[in-house]
Structure 1
Amino acid sequence: MDLSQDESLELYLVLWAMDMEGVWLELIQCA
């Protein structure tokens, strides 16, 4: 397994999780 590729995937997952958190915060504020 390529370590650099694994690190890129981990970073992508972190950014995706942060983006989803922002979406949920917007939904809660609109509710």
Structure 2
Amino acid sequence: MGETPNGNRDASIAGILRSHPSVLRMPGTPVRSE
């Protein structure tokens, strides 16, 4: 975890966002799902 910041992390974040729509409230994502 750390060798591929643009590989594993990207896939993990995408999966988390799909499982947890509340994470979309993070500062940086122009997606507002309330």
TM-score, scaled relative to structure 1? 0.45
The higher radius of gyration belongs to 1
Select the structure that is richer in helix.
1
TM-score, scaled relative to structure 2? 0.42
